[in-house]
Amino acid sequence: MRRSNRAGHHPLHVRRSVALLLGCTLTLLAASCGGGSTGSGDQPEIQLTIATFNEFGYDDLYDEYMAEHPNIRIVERHAETVDAHIKNLDQNLASGSGMADIEAMEINWIYKYLARGDQFVDLRDFGANDLKDRWLDWKVAGATTQDGRIIGYGTDIGPEAICYRRDLFAKAGLPTDRVEVAKLFADWKSYFATGRKFKEKVPGSAWYDSAVLTWEAMRNQLDQAYYSNQDRFLAGENSKLQDVWKQVVQGSADGLSARLPAWSDAWNKAFRSDAFATMACPGWLLGVIQTNAGSFGKGKWDVADVFPSGGGNWGGSYLTVPKQSPQQAEAARLAAWLTAPEQQVKVFKKVGSFPSTLDAYDDPQVKSQVNEYFNNAPVGEIFVNRARAVILKQHKGPREGEINQVFSAALARVDNRKQQADAAWRQALDDADKAANTRSSG
């Protein structure tokens, strides 16, 4: 799904609220519109609620499913942001009632609920073991508890490439062909080094948009970041995490960052200028660039089939079934259908959410996609390659989302020259330690 507007789970466009009810003009369901309790024939009507946020692109799929299952009525509860969704979910989880039959989970927050997996249906009880080969291994692993329960079916993912400005690269004397550009970014060391060369030639432009988003990309590739595999908070003793911090803050000191808060008005407007030359770029971000840059950016932006130091992922969600649901079997059935390859391809065509299912990558509608705006880049092929390059290395703990917000806020203070890097690091460790040891609601 498209991402939220905060560091660590940033989204794009807030979608309209939707309440999906079958129209009374449909003769088949006229009884239910009139208040009756039966569906088609002798089958009782079953209402399934699904709680989502941002843009999942499921509207047409709901109609399709209900047409195929006349006794099913789907009602969506839509939150405009991830934070609002999580607040509702936590309140209902704590009270023991009020959860939807299907609850969507954003990738940076599902780890909070893996630790409470006993409150969600183990989808293996409804055939998940037979279905799990649908998805990339790391996508399944992201919704699997330490004792092997699968609590979520994967929706989309956000495999990352590097988007870049061809005209600014030419101005700096750098290659512009996407194959040659990919050779510049074997790892983060070469990425930053190329940025410093760029700044020497084009001092009026930054190398990337935001230190926070660069941090997000880099720390997600670590074997361990904020937590050990045993859910012990370890950021303060993690030399690899501190090394990532040092690289990013040095980049800010060297002027590589445009110091633009992601999703801010300034960030949006910067795409219509020469403010920066590159950015970590999941597939769903192409639409954001095109929307923000408009005619100014057409043909100037391109995307290279590379991500420094290997694969990276930014974005994606899961569908879970809480044990509160009185319709667990039907809810699990709907969740499996919504996340099947055929449906993921339809969502990809509609809103651009990149599939997490392997069979979708062989669909011509995905793998043969070309983006005219990005200089006719073969984006289907590029992001299939980027998805396959991701390896799930990092264990994320139950307070991952809150802790990442703490470090992102600290880095933003450094990037905007409001706090020295060492002081910001110490404050982040202190604030994150408190967040890690705060008892989850419920």
* pLDDT given at position 108: 82
* pLDDT given at position 2: 45
Least-confidence region, from 43-57, 116-130, 172-186, 389-403: 389-403
Classify residue 237 by burial, with Cβ atoms within 10 Å: 0-12, 13-18, 19+.
exposed
| Model confidence at 365: pLDDT above 80 | yes
Give the whole-angstrom CA distance, residue 270 versus residue 97.
Answer: 45
Q: What residues does each domain of the chain span? A: 27-158+314-367, 159-313+371-436
432 pLDDT band, cuts 50/70/90, is: very high
Asked whether the domain spanning 159-313+371-436 has the same topology as the one spanning 27-158+314-367, the reply is: yes
The domain defined by 159-313+371-436 carries CATH number 1.25.40.850:
no
Answer whether 254's CB lies under 8 Å from 196's CB.
yes
* pLDDT given at position 395: 79
Entry pTM: 0.84
* pLDDT given at position 156: 96
- Average pLDDT, stretch 107-117? 89
Give the whole-angstrom CA distance, residue 149 versus residue 280.
Answer: 33
374 pLDDT band, cuts 50/70/90, is: very high
* pLDDT given at position 41: 57
- Give 107 or 1, the one with higher predicted confidence: 107
| Model confidence at 11: pLDDT above 90 | no
- Give 319 or 5, the one with higher predicted confidence: 319
Place of tokens 């391809």: 345
* pLDDT given at position 439: 56
Average pLDDT, the chain: 89
Give the whole-angstrom CA distance, residue 123 versus residue 151.
Answer: 6
Give the whole-angstrom CA distance, residue 127 versus residue 119.
Answer: 18
* pLDDT given at position 1: 52
| Model confidence at 438: pLDDT above 90 | no
- Give 27 or 194, the one with higher predicted confidence: 194
| Model confidence at 19: pLDDT above 90 | no
368 pLDDT band, cuts 50/70/90, is: very high
Strands, E assignment, 115-237: 152-165, 206-208
| Model confidence at 271: pLDDT above 50 | yes
| Model confidence at 115: pLDDT above 70 | yes
| Model confidence at 22: pLDDT above 50 | no
CA-based angle 25:27:28, to the nearest 5?
Answer: 125
CATH class held by domain 27-158+314-367:
alpha beta
Nearest to 317 by CA among 66, 95, 6, 9: 9
37 pLDDT band, cuts 50/70/90, is: very low
Answer whether 310's CB lies under 8 Å from 165's CB.
no
| Model confidence at 375: pLDDT above 50 | yes
* pLDDT given at position 163: 98
* pLDDT given at position 98: 97
Place of tokens 């390896």: 391
- Average pLDDT, stretch 169-190? 98
Q: What is 318-378 written as a DSSP string?
A: EEE-BTT-S-HHHHHHHHHHHTSHHHHHHHHHHH-PEE-BGGGGGSHHHHT--BTTTTTB-
Give the whole-angstrom CA distance, residue 255 versus residue 390.
Answer: 30
